[in-house]
Structure 1
Amino acid sequence: MSDFIPVCEPLLGGNEIKYVTEAVQTGWISSNGKYVTQFEEAFAKYCGVKYAVAVCNGTVAIHLALTALGIGKGDEVIIPSFTMIATAFAVCYTGAKPVFVDADKDTWNIDVTKIEEKITPHTKAIIPVHIFGNPCNMDAICEIAKKYKLFIVEDAAESHGAEFRGKKTGSFSDIASFSFFANKNLTTGEGGMVIMDCEEKYTKCKYFKNMCFPVDGPRIYSHNDIGFNYRMSNLHAAVGLAQVEKADAYRTMRINNALLYKKYLSDCKGIIFQKDQENGLNVHWMNTIVINPVEYGHTKDELIGHLKEKGIDTRLLFISMNRQKSLKDFGCECSGEYPVTDWLTENGFYLPSASSLTEEQIRHICEVIKEYQK
């Protein structure tokens, strides 16, 4: 067992070298190579949708999705207060304002019972984020969206292969976004994807991601709209295709890791795990624990420091969107109270979560946590 256990490292256990080498040898390293199309088609099929558009990262995937829906200045978009700030920034890029909703105390996803109170005549969309791979209650969110005629844009950056009522995340919304950052269950190093069933939205995404060059026809340098350079390279897509080929195996590894953590920490007081969404399949992007310092006997920061001394890497959790200076300066309404989000931030952190973790490593991590309590 290694002396150091990183918080999350990629697992490149398939055809990555083969596909990337072929791309390099043939010279197809830009966004025009065959692997971009093959990756898009394979990922769309995996998610159970018709179309997918590969982009350079998960943040621009959200921005592109919102752009395809026509979200812009004067609009409001509801997002969870407990999320990576990329969700909020992508809304800001359009000129719209993100509006925050606190987390559910059990699942840590957006609290669906508090969404309606944040809806105004300016609200145009809801972005549910499937936190740490735990699918949101999409029944409730779809019902609210239908009632108020709102778009749904799933932020599925952390939930590759997660399911709600047997359907994969990303397939419940008008349009959805994914990230393939190095620590994700499926990775391209840097990369993202927008998926949808609507051909019109698919065409808009292809159009705007490529500087608004014509989607079909000759490459003329006359541009009718403001576009973006959000293309994914053939090299990244080659890695992505190899990852999708192993998606079910990697999903099983992450789920098994979570089961092992719960098994070995079951007798450790003061350790709180995320509760799986009812009717959902949580793919456990990150194994996260929240510390009750009274029951555990130490604070979160004390435990993190002890784990570091033992060569075990960790990461802090997101800080609430209403506490972000950048969003206050942008003009977001940040005056509300978000107690669940604050509780998660103050007391929670990531444990090592790589797909390739061994049971021996997980047992060792849990033993260190339990011994420190004693």
Structure 2
Amino acid sequence: MSDEIPLFEIPWDESDIANATDSISRGAYWANGPYIDAFERGLEEYLGVEHAVTVNSGTTALVAALKAYGIGEGDEVIVPSFTFIATANAVRLVGATPVFADIDRRTYGLDPEHVETQVTDDTAALLPIHPFGAACDVDPLADIAAGLEVPLIEDAAEAFGGDYHGRTLGTIGDAGAFSFCQNKVLPTGEGGAVVTDDDAVARRLEQFRSHGRSSSDYFDSASSGEYTALGTNIRMSDLVASIGCSQLERVETHISNRRTVATQLSEQLRALEGVEPHTADGYGRHVYQLYTVTLDPEIDRKSVIDALDRRGIASKVYWDPGVHLTETYREEYGSEVGALPVTEEITSRVLSLPMHPNLKPQEIDRIVEGVTDGLE
């Protein structure tokens, strides 16, 4: 058995295999079967929302949410640059323009004060993320969106099960988008969902994910179907949803274990000079989809990465550069260094360490030893 410590491991068990086997061996309804309904109902119950509409990725969840609110050409959407590129790409994919705002030093989420400076007559939505599994400061952003009469769409890809002053992340704005990629808190391999309490938005989401079809019984009907809107095929398969159902049953245990691992890591890492673990800053429950530390500016991050690598321990930089300074965004929008000073500083200092629910105490000790070695 390898003694390497990967960045993440998927917490699977026999219930995942049993559900997947059941879905496959049914011999029908692989595309749209009973596990889809079960998973969506389970998400609605867990998150406390009226509607959960599953799709095939977190990225398409963002695209579908934007489309459901009619956002497109000529519109601007305020987004962070300190995020996975999909957040901004989704805006471009619907024909709108991403407008980058800087981040708050406390949360690493959108800074409401800077967001206000980025508002124009073309602002059509706010799209904040909840970084690493902890909340951004949502209420001021919701107030800005309400004042503009535009939707607040939460990118909660990393924050399934997290909360903000007791309110579940992804359910505070007008809609929330989740990812179930293999490294997420609730993994299905790939997959995503949009949640909302708005009946009309949910209906538009359902149509968009399935070619604009107005009925859901395509495979059970002799009819060719009624098509009443423009749509595409971004449906989640029954097989993927079957794994979602079994993972959802255990997600609270996985979150509890993640938080325990994070506590053990943080207790040791805080004792090291120049290493600051990311926290929820008192806003609510951090679910630690990623366990990230911020290094003091004088620390050579590459030395820490190399020291961990020598010990067979994975690490990863999320994210550097910020999206606004990636090649495609510099070419398309002319973004320049210095435009988002807090983002640009933080991107140069963050490092994510291994995190999954089953990290053992001895592995935690090895991670800390590797970081310590890299600081010397």
Query: What residue number does 1:89 align with?
Result: 89
Further displaced range: 204-213 or 351-360: 351-360
1:157 aligns with 2:157: yes
Structure 1 residue identity aligned to 2:275: I
Aligned partners of 1:5 and 1:369: how far apart in 2?
A: 13
Residue number in structure 2 paired with 1:33 = 33
Which deviates more, 32-41 or 336-345?
A: 336-345
Q: Note closer, same or farther for the CA distance 1:44–1:271 as it changes in structure 2 (3 Å cut).
A: same
Alpha-carbon shift at residue 202 of structure 1 (Å): 0.8
User: Could you tell me which amino acid in structure 2 is paired with residue 305 of structure 1?
Assistant: D
Name which of 238, 246, 249 aligns with 2:250.
246
Aligned 1:193-342 pairs, distance under 5 A: 193-215=193-215, 219-220=223-224, 223-294=227-298, 298-318=299-319, 319-331=321-333, 337-342=339-344
Q: Distance in 1 between matches of 2:238 and 2:105?
A: 41
SS in 2 for 1:247: helix
Instruction: Quote the Cα distance in structure 1 between the aligned partners of 2:352 and 2:208.
Output: 36
State the Cα distance separating 1:85 from its structure 2 match: 0.4
Cα separation, 1, equivalents of 2:28 and 2:42: 19
One-letter code aligned to 2:313: I
Percent of aligned positions with the same letter in both sequences?
A: 33
Distance verdict in 2 for CA 1:231–1:136, change over 3 Å: same
Give the Cα–Cα distance (whole angstroms) in 2 for the partners of residues 284 and 164 of structure 1. Answer: 14
CA offsets 1:149-205 (integer angstroms, 9 cap, x no match): 121100000001000111111111111100000000111101001111111111111
Cα offset, 1:267, TM superposition: 1.5
Query: Amino acid of the residue matched to residue 60 of structure 2?
Result: V
- 2:21 aligns with 21
Would you say the 8 A contact 2:254–2:357 is kept in 1? yes
**What SS does structure 2 have at the residue aligned with 1:73?**
coil
Size of the aligned set, in residue pairs, is 371
- Displacement of 1:359 in angstroms is 1.8
Question: How far 1:222 moved relative to its partner?
Answer: 5.8
Q: 1:21 & 1:332 partners in 2: Cα distance?
A: 50
After superposition, what is the alpha-carbon deviation per residue over 1:321-362, rounded to whole angstroms, capped at 9, x for unaligned?
Answer: 221222244447667621222122212111001122112211
1:370 corresponds to: 372
TM norm structure 1 = 0.95
Does the CA contact (< 8 Å) of 1:214 and 1:220 recur in 2? no
SS of corresponding position for 2:152: strand
The 3-state SS of whatever aligns with 1:100 is: strand
Matches within 5 A, 1:339-354: 339-354=341-356
Q: Which blocks of at least 5 consecutive residues in structure 1 are unaligned?
A: none
Partner of 2:302, secondary structure, is helix
Question: Does residue 61 of the first structure (1) align with residue 65 of the second (2)?
Answer: no
* Amino acid aligned to 1:273: P
Whole-Å separation in 2 of the counterparts to 1:86 and 1:373: 33
Distance 1:335 1:303, change over 3 A: closer
TM-score, length of structure 2 as denominator length: 0.94
Q: Which residue of 1 aligns with 2:122?
A: 122
**CA drift at 1:112:** 1.6
How far does residue 304 in structure 1 lie from its aligned partner after superposition? 0.2
Aligned to 1:174: 174
TM-superposed CA distance for 1:290, in Å, is 1.7
**1:355 counterpart residue number:** 357
Correspondence 1:101 to 2:101 = yes
Report the AA paired with residue 352 of structure 2.
Answer: Y
CA pair 14-259 structure 1, distance change in 2 beyond 3 A? farther
Asked if structure 1 preserves the Cα contact closer than 8 Å seen for 2:162 and 2:168, the reply is: yes
CA shift, 1:225, in A, is 3.2
Mapped to 2, the partners of 1:199 and 1:190 lie a distance apart of: 26
CA distance in 2 between partners of 1:293 and 1:117 (Å): 28
Gaps of 5+ in 2: none
The answer to whether the 8 Å contact 2:308/2:374 transfers is no
SS in structure 2 at match of 1:315: coil
Work out whether residues 126 and 145 of structure 1, in 8 Å CA contact, stay in contact via their aligned partners in 2: yes
Does the CA contact (< 8 Å) of 1:14 and 1:242 recur in 2? no
CA distance in 1, matches of 2:310, 2:108: 29
With 178-187 and 279-288 compared, the bigger mean Cα shift is at: 279-288
| RMSD over equivalenced CA pairs, Å | 1.8
Q: Distance in 2 between matches of 1:261 and 1:41?
A: 35
**The 10-residue stretch of structure 1 (275-284 or 17-26) with the greater mean CA deviation from structure 2:** 275-284
